[in-house]
Amino acid sequence: MLDNRVVVTCCKNSDGDLGDRSVWVRDNGQWQSSPGFDWDEWDNADGKKGKGGKGSITEQAMRIVFNEGHKSLTSAEFLEATEKLTGMAKSSCYNALKGKSKGGKFAAHLSYDKKTKLFSWQN
């Protein structure tokens, strides 16, 4: 399958910060923005992630750890499974559990039951 997406960024700027990068799709001679681009996948395409490499916990990893929402986990179970799966540091794995009040990346999919002390994933 041909991928018509193009990543655009300023590669040199002697007098200031680089501009934000963006993704565009070539389509029938026109350029359209590509919302929802997976920057985690792009940034980790070279296989360098976790333990000193650049990377982050992806939604796909979260789905695997929570078995597509069929498994609830304590924070300790989550940390162990996520570290093993992704190779990311414990602090990065813990940050993936942040809730809405703390601006968590996956807050829309995660819930926490205070009574059982279990985290769950909703698709």
* pLDDT tens track for 92-110: 888 888 876 677 888 899 9
pLDDT per residue of the chain (123 residues) written in tens, 0 to 9 = 457 788 887 777 777 776 777 888 888 888 888 777 777 667 665 554 544 444 678 888 899 999 999 999 999 999 999 988 888 888 888 888 887 667 788 889 999 999 999 999 998
User: In whole angstroms, what is the distance from residue 87 CA to residue 85 CA?
Assistant: 6
pTM as predicted: 0.56
With 0-12 CB in 10 A as exposed, 13-18 as middle and 19+ as buried, what is 1?
exposed
Instruction: Say whether both 21 and 61 belong to one domain.
Output: no
Provide the residue type at 31 as one letter. W
Residues 105/98, Cβ–Cβ less than 8 Å? yes
Instruction: Count up the domains in the chain and report the number.
Output: 2
Locate 78 and state its tokens: 């989550």
Residues 122/85, Cβ–Cβ less than 8 Å? no
Residues 79/115, Cβ–Cβ less than 8 Å? no
Instruction: Say whether both 117 and 86 belong to one domain.
Output: yes
For 65, the domain range is 56-121
